[in-house]
Structure 1
Amino acid sequence: MKAEGRSPAGDLLDDLAEQVSVAAVEAFGVSKDAANALGTDVAMRMVEQWGGQQLYMPKGARIEASRMHQQIYEDWKGQNHRELARKYGFSLQFIYRVIKVLRKADLDSRQRDMFSPVGHD
């Protein structure tokens, strides 16, 4: 909620600091003092990086889509494409495409590069 006489930008920075603080306590169990310090630090870094610029805050559709795609991949058991299409309300082709892309990324992340130097112990 906007405080009287405050700018939306100031409210945004205060809320950013608060949200980081809450997330740090919930996700990592850090003390409230440490979480507040982290929240303030993140807000100040955003000021240093973006201060003075006009910003548009997207609604996060890309992040939500990425989470949905990851959930589809995690629910994939090898042969349950139709079930996933029904569950998530997407076409069968879309489910195949999501799994293909994420499976390739998963395999690539596990694959060693044969041209990278290997340390000798």
Structure 2
Amino acid sequence: MSRDDSTMGGRRHELLEDVHAQVKSVLQEFGIDAAVADQAGAALADHLAQNWGGQNFTFPMDHHYYVTMRDQEIYAEFDGRNHHVLARKFNMTVRGIYKVIKRIRAKGDPDQHALF
């Protein structure tokens, strides 16, 4: 086995261990018994290995997913006059709120339905 194969094997193992530990931790935070949480974590890690093993994919490192959720929430709360309120609530600048609204409208207002 080459050194690269050994390193990649370690990384795969590290990923599955991390999934296991994270699931266990989150479930315990929700009040699930530690033994049950540990079993659920192991089951999810096993599921990923069995069903996704051998696949190559990349997890994005940016926070695009969370920004999108935040932007949708901002747009849902936007009433046309509450830029300052939203800026305070979401720890942004007023200009940033304007940009979010503009970006969502450019993609097409999700509340507007096509006529034809």
Q: 1:8 aligns with which of 11, 16, 25?
A: 11
What TM-score, normalized to structure 2? 0.64
Aligned to 1:55, the other structure's residue is in SS state coil
Q: Is this contact kept in 2: 1:22–1:35, CA < 8 A?
A: yes
Taking a change above 3 Å as real, the CA distance of residues 70 and 20 of structure 1, as seen in their structure-2 partners, is farther
Aligned to 1:88, the other structure's residue is in SS state coil
Aligned to 1:81: 83
Q: Which structure 1 segments of 5+ residues have no match? A: 105-121
Q: 1:72 aligns with which of 71, 74, 80?
A: 74
Q: How many residues align?
A: 98
1:71 Cα deviation after fit: 4.3
Taking a change above 3 Å as real, the CA distance of residues 12 and 93 of structure 1, as seen in their structure-2 partners, is closer
Residue type at the aligned position of 1:95: I
Q: Which structure 2 segments of 5+ residues have no match? A: 1-6, 112-116
Q: 2:101 aligns with which of 53, 75, 95?
A: 95
Taking a change above 3 Å as real, the CA distance of residues 7 and 69 of structure 1, as seen in their structure-2 partners, is same
Higher alpha-carbon deviation: 91-100 or 48-57 = 91-100
Residue type at the aligned position of 1:88: M
Q: Is 1:29 matched with 2:25?
A: no
1:72 Cα deviation after fit: 2.1
Q: Percent identity?
A: 27
For residues 53-87 of structure 1, what are the alpha-carbon distances to aligned partners after superposition, in whole Å with 9 as ceiling and x for unaligned? Answer: 2231212523221332244246x363303543574
1:29 Cα deviation after fit: 1.1
Residue type at the aligned position of 1:63: Y
What TM-score, normalized to structure 1? 0.62
Distance in 1 (CA, whole Å) between partners of 2:70 and 2:11 is 31
For residues 90-118 of structure 1, what are the alpha-carbon distances to aligned partners after superposition, in whole Å with 9 as ceiling and x for unaligned? Answer: 251532654853xx3xxxxxxxxxxxxxx
RMSD: 3.1
